[in-house]
A and B are shown apart, each in its own frame.
Chain A
């Protein structure tokens, strides 16, 4: 069951009563102004207005393009292969350490 976002009531219409529901304070209708979430979104940190480019990912892209001709799958397989090798080496090193201590 999806929960109703009751918080939106406050987010969009923080004022209550006549102002929201079309009542007539001082004898005339008042418009609902842009409130709440939209204003919050307007305040998004400036740097979020533009995509932040992570130099680490840019380096990954360069590696894939330069060394793998843009083949992401080959790159990923290579990563996994390397990870497995690293784990194997670590495991062997641990066994050797234990053997030396025994």
Chain B
């Protein structure tokens, strides 16, 4: 009998509906039901979404409320299901589900942070609001990247010929992404190509900062108080060199570029731990056949070192690409079909599509003990 894993399935009996605009009032209306479901059991809670968006802060509040630990430290898993529109803050909420499902009729829309004004703004107000919007966009992008990365790993390993080239070396990334673009409309395919270009510049600035800091002694022992100003100097040096032919000044757009690079590198550094954990689990999917055979001949302790040597660089360029992609998603309007959302790592499953899902793989392995190769 096939095993159903409730952690990967929607469950109407333990569900909530988020429909219409995401407002504080909508959150208040959901709160009693959330508390009721959490009190009843620690099982997953399904959140059906049909919303054009609203307040991201409120959406995040709803998510926290569902996922907060109870008095025994139990946390409910969140299964999100797009049943109609999932736009803006609702699209973020969909992607942040522990398991995200899109129904075939769903529409998924992304765009950057917005803020409406009814009054005249001063220069000071505009500058401050712009900085806040930029920071919010960056953080939302990184958070989206964190939730999409695992899914994107599963997508790219399905691209048979291109993944073989990528396994041979990280320079195969462009071909891998080009193969991925075939799954998108021409308009959305541009998003992926743009992300590849952005990924290059992101990786360049990181490499420039690394080179700059390498020339300093004992950087690893420096406290952040000492390291951060040095990182800013490294970025200013890199940007100045990059714009040496232009009339580039910090007092114009330069400072904003430097701040953006700084935040990105700073946040990037905090992701290293994530990459280590992911490398341990998914790294072996990025080995060539010869490497894979060698890997299998090694013991558990040697596995980690082997993956660091042979797979970490590939996972790292893929991570840069995903971050760049998620940053672009926060810049203008992108309308995605459920299948596109699947290939972009926004959702885990599109119902009835036949696209390979985590649920299918996990349930089958549980059903059979393991799945052995067909004769």
In the bound complex, how far is the Cα of B146 from the Cα of A94, in angstroms? 45
| Residue from A44, A51, A78, A82 whose CB has the most chain B CB atoms within 10 Å | A51
CB distance from A2 to the nearest CB of B (A): 6
Residues of B within 8 A of A22 (CB): 121-125
B135 touches A38 (CB 8 A): yes
Residues of A within 8 A of B21 (CB): 3
B54 touches A45 (CB 8 A): no
B55 touches A44 (CB 8 A): no
Q: Pick the contact of A5: B5, B116, B120, B160 (CB < 8 A).
A: B116
B113 touches A70 (CB 8 A): no
B362 touches A7 (CB 8 A): no
B124 touches A31 (CB 8 A): yes
Q: Is A37 an interface residue (CB 8 A)?
A: yes
| Residue of chain B at shortest CB distance from A81 | B374
A window 74-101: CB within 8 A of B: 74-79, 81-83, 86, 90
A70 touches B281 (CB 8 A): no
CB distance from B49 to the nearest CB of A (A): 14
CB distance from A38 to the nearest CB of B (A): 6
A40 touches B371 (CB 8 A): no
Q: Pick the contact of A82: B60, B167, B296, B364 (CB < 8 A).
A: B364
CB distance from B335 to the nearest CB of A (A): 9
Chain A residues within 8 Å of chain B by Cβ, number: 61
Residues of B within 8 A of A41 (CB): 60, 136, 139-140, 143
A5 touches B56 (CB 8 A): yes
Residues of B within 8 A of A66 (CB): 296
Q: Pick the contact of B54: A5, A20, A37, A56 (CB < 8 A).
A: A5
In the bound complex, how far is the Cα of B251 from the Cα of A91, in angstroms? 73
B373 touches A59 (CB 8 A): no
CB distance from A55 to the nearest CB of B (A): 9
In the bound complex, how far is the Cα of B136 from the Cα of A20, in angstroms? 18
| Residue of chain A at shortest CB distance from B114 | A5
Stretch of B35-43, B200-208, B237-245, B271-279 contacting A (4+ beta carbons < 8 Å): B271-279
Residues of B within 8 A of A34 (CB): 132, 135
B122 touches A8 (CB 8 A): no
Residues of A within 8 A of B282 (CB): 61
| Residue of chain A at shortest CB distance from B96 | A48
Residues of B within 8 A of A40 (CB): 56-57, 60-61
| Residue of chain A at shortest CB distance from B371 | A78
In the bound complex, how far is the Cα of B84 from the Cα of A54, in angstroms? 28
A-B contact pairs, 7 of them (CB 8 A): A5-B55, A7-B56, A9-B117, A10-B55, A11-B56, A22-B123, A76-B360
| A→B interface (CB under 8 Å) | 2-13, 20-22, 29, 31-32, 34-38, 40-41, 43-45, 48-51, 53, 56-70, 72-79, 81-83, 86, 90
